[in-house]
Structure 1
Amino acid sequence: MMKMTVIGTLFAALFLTNPVQATEYIYRDIMANTLAPEHCQIETKAKENASKNYNIDRFSKKFCQSQGYGWHVEEVKSAGNTVCDSCGNSQESKCRQEDVVVTCKRIKPGTVGMLPGKG
């Protein structure tokens, strides 16, 4: 019975405390191009590989990380356009995505308990 009283008091204290303030973020939109692979492929296969979600997501992560410490991908707004450069062979090319638009976010400094008594 004593344990129930302690647990009940603990839950009551948790519910009556002030709510924690929401974390604030800084957002930044970035437009960049992916890199073409080193090897040539048949053009249809090269276009397919360049526009795959895996490829877009991988480069989007790199775009945001290049902004500095703490930047993460919020969303990919546009996958951009597929652009191909032909290799020596007329049927083979290297393709990449141009003008990929990504929204990156970072926690706003000072909003997550870094400065006691502030906020």
Structure 2
Amino acid sequence: MKKHFISGLLLALSLAGPAGATEYIYRDLMANTLPAHCDVESKAKQASEKPYTVDRFSKRFCQTQGYGWHLDEIKTAGNTVCSPCTDKSGLQQCFQEDVVVTCKRIKPGSVGMLPGKG
């Protein structure tokens, strides 16, 4: 009984075709993060350069492309740019300029989303 089950399982696995590889569409984007609250220049720069901040905005850049787009990689974290706050003297607002990310999305029809294809 066990021999028949094992041989049947091996036969089924050998006859099964390989799973189709998922294809992706890639898109490179360049964008700026939003400035944080007003603070002393050193703290404002530190807050804008945090990996958490760059990751969060990078995900948001890809999500704004539409349904199904998500972050693949962050190519460059950009340059830190600071500007003085208008209502508070001596304080600065900093943000990351020219952050370059690669976004990806599953190519339509590559994973059986369309009936009768593949």
TM-score, scaled relative to structure 1 = 0.88
1:43 corresponds in structure 2 to 41
- Match in the other structure for 2:5: 6
Task: Give the alignment of 1:66-81 within 5 angstroms.
Answer: 66-81=64-79
Letter in 2 for 1:26: I
Counterpart Cα distance in 2 of 1:22 and 1:52: 36
Runs of 5+ in structure 1 lacking a partner? none
Deviations 1:70-91 (A, max 9, x none): 000000001001001112322x
2:15 equivalent in structure 1: 16
CA RMSD of aligned residues (A): 1.5
CA distance in 1, matches of 2:73, 2:25: 14
The one-letter code matched in structure 2 to 1:64 is C
Q: How many residues align?
A: 116
4+ runs deviating over 6 angstroms: none
> Could you state the TM-score of these two structures normalised by the residue count of structure 2?
0.89
Letter in 1 for 2:12: A
Give 1:21 shift: 1.3
Letter of the aligned partner of 1:5 in structure 2? H
SS in structure 2 at match of 1:41: coil
Deviates more, 1:6-15 or 1:57-66: 6-15
Q: Deviations over 1:5-30 (max 9, x none)?
A: 32442243124311011000000000
Name the CA distance, whole Å, in 1 between partners of 2:31 and 2:110. Answer: 29
